[in-house]
Amino acid sequence: MFPFSRYRVNGSSMEPNFKDGDYVIAFSYIFNKPNVGDVIVFKKEKLLLIKRIQKLENSNTIATGDNSKARFTVNKKDILGKVIFKI
């Protein structure tokens, strides 16, 4: 993965901050570590998801949508990057 990648938001779980169809730029966590409150892009099965970190645990991260109560347990190796801005 390059240090920066572009992803498209699909769905409403991150509204009002990120809307369906928005594009975001994510920066790889090569040089730093995830923090609570970061918006991340991660792999979950065959999907790419964009969610906000709620809690950090040993090798897992708990993430949720801003507009959703669904919780995802994400292995840190599946995190592709931190969303740094919307385009």
Please give the pLDDT value at position 33.
84
**Higher per-residue pLDDT: 59 or 66:** 66
List the CATH number of the domain containing 18.
2.10.109.10
Condensed to tens digits (0 to 9), the pLDDT of residues 4-63 reads 899 999 999 999 999 999 999 999 987 778 899 999 999 999 999 999 999 998 889 999
Please give the pLDDT value at position 29.
80
- Total number of domains constituting the chain: 1
Q: Measuring CA to CA, which residue among 56, 72, 76, 74 is closest to residue 64?
A: 72
Phi and psi dihedrals of 76, rounded to 5? -55, -30
Report whether 8 contacts 50 (CB < 8 A). Answer: no
Please give the pLDDT value at position 38.
97
Report whether 44 contacts 78 (CB < 8 A). Answer: yes
Please give the pLDDT value at position 7.
96
Quote the domain boundaries for residue 38.
4-86
